[in-house]
Amino acid sequence: MKTFSFLWAAVLLAPILSVCAEEVTEDVPMPPPALSIAYPYPKARLPGITNLCCLGAVDGTNGLLTVNGAAVPIHRTGAFLTMVPVKPGTNTITAAWGTNVLVRSVVVASVEIAKPLGARPDRIVHPMPPRDPYKDLGIPTNAVFEVSPPRGKMISDILVMVDPGHGGDDPGAFSPHMLPEKDVNLMQARAIRDELRRAGFKVVMTRDDDVTMPLYDRPKSAWRLKADAFISVHHNATAPQTDPRQSRHITSYGSNARGMPLARAIQKHLGRTLAPIPDMGAQLKSLAVCRNPAVASCLLEVDFINLPDGEEASWDPSRHTQVAKAVVMGVLDWLMEK
């Protein structure tokens, strides 16, 4: 009888619903699937690996979840992660939770055996020449830069540019619930902006919305606006064959003598704030957004989002505030360096 009443209600309401459909469709989000796989992507073609990180989510925390027949723990958020053995050729990943079954196929390349050095002298791969940041950013080679860190400036006169990594057509990495890195980068960057402003700094963002921004336009903006510091905000993810539970860490990068002191100062406070996540310290690495010879620039890798604990922490607003306060303390320490 309840089914009968429901059907009649649907018939009677159909004309009303059809009229309102255009107004309602965009405002009502679709419910999440009961079972989803965030990685591997459909029909992914992978290098010659023997183990594959499989992550996804279920709409609940109870019940038996299996991946290729093996039981997999469900995180309190509904996320899951497991390592799956794979071999060259087509591999099938089957996830099952209750009555929900999801099948995904991936192709793994043949495992290449490394040849002894000198075995094929005609196939020697020469390293790419180093990038020229002056040319990349349109900076005159005879340009004169201000002292870094700035001296004799009031905090209210110091300009910090905060760069939320990725955006628009470039989502970055994905979490188990298919949440894109570009979104959490923006949320964390806004928190850093707000805390810097509370401390008295002038702050600008490279983007304050979900827009596509060419990579080199970011450091170019810092040069054009004569920023004193540039901080790019990112979240990490592992390679397909790596277990993020074993690789989770936090780090900051600088690419030159101007940026490394800023990276070290911020990382010192990030490490303390995010303990017990392993602290890898500040590292020297050639990155497009950090090679700016005019502006002290660094890139923060706050956490790994392709594991359940990292996803949960990275989308937590209280964590955003903690990280933002740590960044402010790092910038203040940097300014005190001689």
Residue 11 has a pLDDT of 35
142: left (phi over 0), alpha (psi -120 to 50) or beta: alpha
pLDDT tens column, 232-250: 999 999 999 999 999 999 9
**Which is the CATH superfamily of the domain at 35-108?**
Immunoglobulins (2.60.40.10)
Topology (CATH level 3) of domain 133-336 = Aminopeptidase (3.40.630)
**Chain position carrying tokens 């009502």:** 28
Task: Work out the angle at residue 31's Cα, subtended by the Cα atoms of residues 29 and 34, and round it to the nearest 5 degrees.
Answer: 160
Could you tell me if 228 and 149 are in contact, meaning their C-beta atoms sit under 8 angstroms apart? Answer: yes
Average pLDDT over residues 146-165: 94
The sheet that has 65-67: what strands, in order across it?
45-46, 100-108, 89-97, 65-67, 70-71
Could you tell me if 161 and 229 are in contact, meaning their C-beta atoms sit under 8 angstroms apart? Answer: yes
pLDDT tens column, 251-278: 999 999 999 999 999 999 999 999 999 9
Could you tell me if 145 and 171 are in contact, meaning their C-beta atoms sit under 8 angstroms apart? Answer: no
DSSP string covering 121-154: GGGPPPPPPPP-HHHHHT--TT--PPPSS--S--
Structure tokens at 318: 């209280």
What pTM was estimated for this model as a whole?
0.86
Residue 187 has pLDDT above 80, yes or no: yes
What is the distance between the alpha carbons of residues 208 and 190, in angstroms, rounded to a whole number? 8
More confident residue, 70 or 134: 70
Residue 24 has pLDDT above 70, yes or no: no
What ranges in the chain are assigned the alpha helix state H? 2-25, 133-137, 181-198, 217-224, 244-247, 260-273, 308-314, 317-336
**Distance of alpha carbon 113 from the chain centroid:** 32
Q: Where in the chain is the domain with CATH 2.60.40.10?
A: 35-108
Closest by CA to 87, choosing from 50, 43, 42, 52, is 50
Q: What proportion of the chain, given as a percentage, has pLDDT over 90?
A: 77
Task: Work out the angle at residue 97's Cα, subtended by the Cα atoms of residues 96 and 101, and round it to the nearest 5 degrees.
Answer: 40
Average pLDDT over residues 7-32: 44
- Sign for the CA dihedral angle at 143, 148, 151, 156 comes to positive
Residue 239 has a pLDDT of 94
Burial class from Cβ neighbours inside 10 Å (0-12, 13-18, 19+) for residue 134 reads middle
Name every residue whose Cβ is closer than 8 Å to that of residue 228 and which is 6 or more positions away in sequence: 146, 148, 149, 150, 153, 158, 159, 160, 295, 296
Q: What proportion of the chain, given as a percentage, has pLDDT over 70?
A: 85
Could you tell me if 157 and 151 are in contact, meaning their C-beta atoms sit under 8 angstroms apart? Answer: no
Name every residue whose Cβ is closer than 8 Å to that of residue 17 and which is 6 or more positions away in sequence: none
**Distance of alpha carbon 235 from the chain centroid:** 3
Q: Give the number of other CB atoms < 10 A from CB of residue 91.
A: 19
